[in-house]
Structures are given as C-alpha cells and as structure tokens.
Amino acid sequence: MPSRKKIALSLVAAFTLPAMSASNAELEAMLIKLQKDFGTYKVTQEKKIASLEKKLSVSSDNKKSTPKTNKKKTTVAKKEKKQETLVAMDNNDFSSEGANIMPTTSDVVSTDTYESFSDLGLAASKVYNSESALSIGGYGEYRYRKFTNFKNFSSPSANKLRRKSETNVVRFVPYIGYKFNDWIIMNTEIEFEDGGARSDGTKNYKYAIVEFSYLDFLLDEKYNVRAGHVLVPFGNINLNHEPVAFLTSQRPLVESLIIPSTWHTNGILGFGTYEDFDYYAGIITSPDPGNFTEGRFIQQGRRGAKQLTDDVSGVARVSYKGFEGIETGGSLFYGKGTTPHLLLPTSDIDVSMFMAEAHANYKYDGWNVQALAVYGSLGDDYKQLIEHGDISGEVNGQYLTVGYDVLHNRNTSHQLYVVGEVERLDLDADNRTVNPDDYKYNEYTFGFAYFPDPKVVIKADYTWRDYRSGSRLADEESFIAALGFIF
C-alpha cells in the first residue's frame, strides 16, 4: 500500500502540471474529479484493510483452537502424568515501531517442549514434540562419592583405594531424532558411560554404546509399532532413566540388580493408549544365560546391538492413569535362553526366565512418591550355570522413595525435595550360594534434590547398606552428591 506522502505528491503533480495552461472552469472540473477519485481510492483501501484484519483474526483463532495433525498422531493422551516444560517466545511481542530488536538476556528462552511420550523420558521424547524434522536432545550426570570405612573387598589395598573420593562423569547421553513424516519417526540414544570407551575384554565399565535406536510407526493413538534396538518396557526406571526422573543420586538398586536397567535389546513392540491405560507388548531377544553372575540375576546377560541368537522372550507392561497425580501398573517378562555347556561343549544348557513387577507413583500437591516390588526366577537347567558362581533361582526386591517439595507453597518455580528411600533386596531367595546372607540386605538413603530449573537437578544423599546378621560383609556407608540435567 502506498504511503500518505507518495499519495500527496501524486495529487500535487496531477493538479499543478495541467493547471499551468488551464482556465478557471477547467481547473474547477479537474479539482472535482480528483476529489472523487481520491474518495473512491480511500474507500477501496479501507475495505482491503478490513478484509486483511478479518483474515488475520480467523487465522489466529484457528491456531489456538485446532491441534496440528502430527500432534494427533504422535501424542499419547496423558491426563495427569504430563510432565512438561514449555517456554516460548512470540515474535509479535516486538512491534515494528520503537522496539528493541535485540532481546535482553531474560527475553531469550527456549521454544522446546518437554513432554513424556509413551512413558519415555522428557528429553528422549523431544523428537515427538518438535516442530522441526531433526531433533537433538540428551542428558548427563556428574557424581561425587565417598565411603566412610569400606572393607568388603578381599584385598586391603583394594579396600584402601575404594575409600578414596570418587568423582565421575557417570553418563553423557545425546539423543538424535528425525521425523520422516508425521507417522514415521527415528529415535536414537548414544551413551558415553564413565567418560570413556571400552576397547578390551576386561571388566572396565567405561564404554560408548548405542542404547536404543528404533523406528516408530505411529498408526493410531491405540496401536503403534516400534522396531529396532529398543528399551525393554519393564518397571519404573528403564523407560525413563533420565536424572530428573528420580530423586536420589543413584537409581534404585532394585531396578539395577534385579530389573537390569538400563535394559535394551533388539525387538519389536506394539504400544498405545486406550482410555486411561497405556500399554506395551512385544517380542525381544532373550538375555544370554552364559553370562549370568552370582548375585546379579539376569543383569550380566544383557546383549548389545549386534546379536547372534535364536532365543526370544515376551514382555508386556501396562499402566493406569485415571486418577489425578497417580499412576499404577505392572510388567511381565518370560523367555528362554541357551548357552553351551561348560563341561560338554557339544551340549547346550537351556534356561527359562520369568520376572514380574508392580509399581505405583504419586505426584501431587508437593509430594513425589515412587514404589515398586519385583520377583524373578530361573528354571530348567539353570543349576548347571557354574562358570560365574552359584546362580540363584529366585530373587525379589522392593523400594519406596518419598520426596516432599518444601518450596511447594512458595511463590517460586524452584523445587527443593527432602528425600527418603528404603530398599530391600534378596538376591538369593532360594539360598543356593555359599553364604546367602551376603546377598540379602536393606539400603537406606536420606538427602535432598534441588531443581533450580525443571531440566537441572542438584542432589546430595547419605546412604547406609545394612547386611543380614549372618553376612560376611560389613555394612557400608557413603556420601553421594550429583548433578544432573536434560536438554
């Protein structure tokens, strides 16, 4: 649209140039015509402006009221469970007249949305909520630990070393996600643990690994398909193991030694939401029984991404979210695995595996409570697994974590949880090992978790492990401090 200055100059030129040779009557006729033309022009422009304003208003209303197509396909309904941090900057906040084009530091904020998808972690779900095709996210954990008087190793020098202060980059984990379209999504997690990469066959636990890499085919809210190297849907922590998801400095031992978090393997899963229920069900490759170790159930049998096996297992998980702030659910796992016999290489040892868990989580009105109980067993020829000690045929464990945000009723977005956790582990429930009480203990943790931002947490704990009276091991006490973040 021409400016007022240009219109005025045009009128002056149109009037003065012909006027140099025109009579009074001609000038008067020219003036009337110009006034009429200008009035018509003004009315036309006002109609155009009104039409544009109407279109802008309708477009704005539609954006507010109409969900995007890909959201409908990719967002599983989560009524009370939605954990989200949405911070956005609207470009319309800066008008064209008199605006500071460069925003101040406080104006520069993220447009990312952090909302759990299919019970995955907030950062792991980033690709599902992203407006762009490519998504980059991740998390990290830094930790300090100091034992007061550790003496459970067989070597005095090893005990002395264990009592030294331990500092560690426990995990740095980037996520890479890509949307091929609104229903096919790739999601990958690459984990660097203990700050390094294992290049030999020793028990050096530093490594870099693809922890998951899969394709999701989002067909409908009720049924979708995930295929590739997947997180096994079992328990509380395995699907969502990011440091902002739990309040203690370390993941619960029950979900490390019995449920072998982080448990990832090759497989295909179906998942979705039906009313207030979320579910997973599928087929995965079985753990390798040849690597089972005394006191660690199936943990050491986890396989990497490259596998040579015909052994498969079934897994299923369901959770109910029909009440505000409450989630309840459970998981089942059953499968079989084979490994060559140590003494008879031409024969195989067949081992069946079973595990079941029930969990409940409550997050409301400043409270954050997590509870879980799990039972596991081995069958068939598991007693012939003698390479790594006496393997127990039954295990069970429970934990309860309770946190209360003391800043809940304050006018602040910060959170400060006072935390207590109790765990009970029986890693030799059928008493098969030489000294079963070495694998039966309680662990108590007390501390705090401070969130200066929903994506950053500072934790400090005092932990005490109490062995059974018949154990040959001494009780263990330690102080742990940790920093965690997602992005």
Q: 348-364 and 84-86 as β-strands: parallel, antiparallel, unpaired?
A: unpaired
Q: What is the reported pLDDT for 38?
A: 67
Q: What is the mean pLDDT of residues 20-33?
A: 61
Q: What are the residues facing 333 on neighbouring strands?
A: 315, 355
Q: Tell me what pLDDT residue 112 has.
A: 76
The two structure tokens encoding residue 430: 């059928």
CA dist., res. 328 & res. 359, Å (int): 6
> In sequence order, which residues have a C-beta less than 8 Å from that of residue 266 and are 6 or more positions away?
228, 229, 230, 284, 285, 303, 305, 307
The overall average pLDDT reported for the chain is 84
Could you tell me the pLDDT band of residue 154, with boundaries at 50, 70 and 90? confident
Residue-wise pLDDT tens digits, 193-223: 987 765 555 555 567 899 999 999 999 999 9
Mean pLDDT confidence for 340-369: 93
Give CA–CA dist 260/302, Å, rounded.
8
How is 238-252 classified by DSSP, letter by letter?
Answer: TT---GGGSSSSS--
Higher-confidence residue: 95 or 406?
406
Q: Which residues contact 90 (CB under 8 A, 6 or more apart)?
A: none
Would you list the DSSP string of 10-68? HHHHHHHHHHTT--HHHHHHHHHHHHHHHHHHHHHHHHHHHHHHHHHHHHHHHHHHS--
Taking the complete model, does pTM exceed 0.85, yes or no?
Answer: no
Q: What is the pLDDT of residue 56?
A: 64
pLDDT at 277 over 90: yes
Token code pair at residue 235? 């328990």
How far is the C-alpha of 117 from the C-alpha of 346, rounded, in Å?
46
Task: Give the pLDDT score at 85.
Answer: 38
Which pLDDT value is given to residue 342? 80
The whole-angstrom separation of Cα 9 and Cα 149 is: 92
- Which of the pair, 387 or 247, is modelled with greater confidence? 247
Angle between helices 4-19 and 24-65 (to 10 degrees): 160
Question: How far apart, in whole angstroms, are the C-alpha atoms of residue 354 and residue 298?
Answer: 10
Q: What is the pLDDT of residue 387?
A: 77
Cα–chain center distance at 469 = 40
pLDDT-based confidence at residue 49 (cuts at 50, 70, 90): confident
Is residue 71 within 8 Å of 100, Cβ to Cβ? no
Given a cut of 80, whether residue 280 has pLDDT beyond it is yes
Q: Does 138 have pLDDT greater than 70? A: yes
pLDDT one-digit tens code per residue, 89-126: 333 333 333 333 334 333 444 567 899 999 999 999 99
Select the more confidently predicted residue: 240 or 57. Answer: 240
Write down the CATH superfamily of domain 113-486: Porin (2.40.160.10)
Q: What 3-state class would DSSP assign to 136?
A: strand
Residue 441 pLDDT exceeds 80: yes
The pLDDT of residue 64 is above 50: no
The confidence band for 23, taking pLDDT boundaries of 50, 70 and 90, is low
pLDDT higher than threshold 80 for residue 67: no
The more confident residue out of 80 and 359 is 359
Of residues 109 and 430, which shows the higher confidence score? 430
pLDDT at residue 21 above 60? no
